[in-house]
Amino acid sequence: MNVIDAIRTKRDAKELTAPQIDWVIAAYTEGKIADEQMSALAMAILLNGMTRREIARWTAAMIDSGERMDFTTLTRPTADKHSTGGVGDKITLPLAPLVAACGAAVPQLSGRGLGHTGGTLDKLESIPGWRALLSNEEMLGVLDSTGAVICAAGDGLAPADKKLYALRDVTGTVESIPLIASSIMSKKIAEGTGSLVLDVKAGSGAFMKTVEDARELASTMVELGNDHGVRTVALLTDMDTPLGRTAGNALEVRESVEVLAGGGPADVVELTLALAREMLDAAGISDADPAKALADGSAMDVWRRMIAAQGGDPDAELPRSREQHVVTAPASGVLTRLDAYDVGVAAWRLGAGRARKEDPVQAAAGIELHAKPGDRVTAGEPLLTLHTDTPERFEESVEALADAYDIRTPDEASVSYTPRPIILDRIS
């Protein structure tokens, strides 16, 4: 086999053979293919795409590059969820304990934020003592004792993906639908879950900006999951506007606890319950009501046990920023747009996110949203509150928000503003 032949094949928009794909993934994982050669192949795939057969084989090769987890010793059916990432997307935090409270086991392997998108592990690490890195035995133990675990993927799980993702991140090839689909699904299939619900975001704050691209990605991943024996469905959800009222690590943990306590923002509750119902259905559990599990405190009970089982203190005070800056509404009227991407970039510049995987994040940095599209605002009243420990960051964060929102008169808003639903479509 020769990597140059593989590059030329995709450069000329032709199909890679199964043996070529198997060899490329194995050889790159073993360090036999140089990064610049794999970069060229990834760019050719970004530009010319892959057939369904190629994507399926590429995913299988990624899975075979490492170990597979086994949850057959559990007495509960397993169900997992994956989000393609967004701004204010704290859904995993209340969702995992909620689904566990309803009878499923939730092995949630999560990641860290990069750029304008937040990461579940970064959020949870704002809880004093909480650990993201667990051995396979520890993960299984937490899952068995509490019903849910949220942790980082181990090094043995799809190592080809870990290496390839890092390369894609620095070569402008993250947005390739075949490579996104195979990256996500190789880890989820190797994880060993029995069913999977995908939350595929569409909008300014998502990697997929259009519903059409999000639908293509969702369909590709649903096919991959079902082809590998994992019952898979996807919801397409809105990411033009941030989810909830916060974007940032400790800020989002507080908001998640509010949801588990029976409160929280309506959009977060709506999406959490919708995904919970999909996960329970995929796991074959039909006699549980997730809304009741939020209301009666059973989901909160699982949350507290899950956090404690991973070394965290569920009663500890969460970090608060040393400095705040309030952005006020420049006019009175109706807020008709609050751009998720701009808010995400502003939170990132405050220290809530990272430009490179090795960068640290500030646990307390982020943004509070005092209004969402459709709300009336008053000139001079708070619209956003920026949080950081390093006030020199305020200026560049405010710059990112310069075109982030529109305020219209009530008459203009009644003509120009149409709320977009949170759930845009379902792919099964």
Q: Would you name the residues annotated as active-site residues?
A: 82, 161, 168, 183, 187
Q: How many helices (H) and strands (E) does the chain have?
A: 17, 13
- Report d(CA 70, CA 299) in Å as an integer: 25
| 8 Å CB contact between 400 and 353 | no
- Report d(CA 188, CA 357) in Å as an integer: 21
Number of Cα atoms under 13 Å in the Cβ half of residue 30? 9
The contacts of residue 339 (CB under 8 Å, 6+ apart) are 204, 205, 240, 241, 403, 404, 405
- Report d(CA 280, CA 93) in Å as an integer: 17
Calculate the dihedral angle through the C-alpha atoms of 356, 116, 299, 422, rounding to the nearest 10 degrees: -150
Number of Cα atoms under 13 Å in the Cβ half of residue 348? 25
- Report d(CA 249, CA 89) in Å as an integer: 10
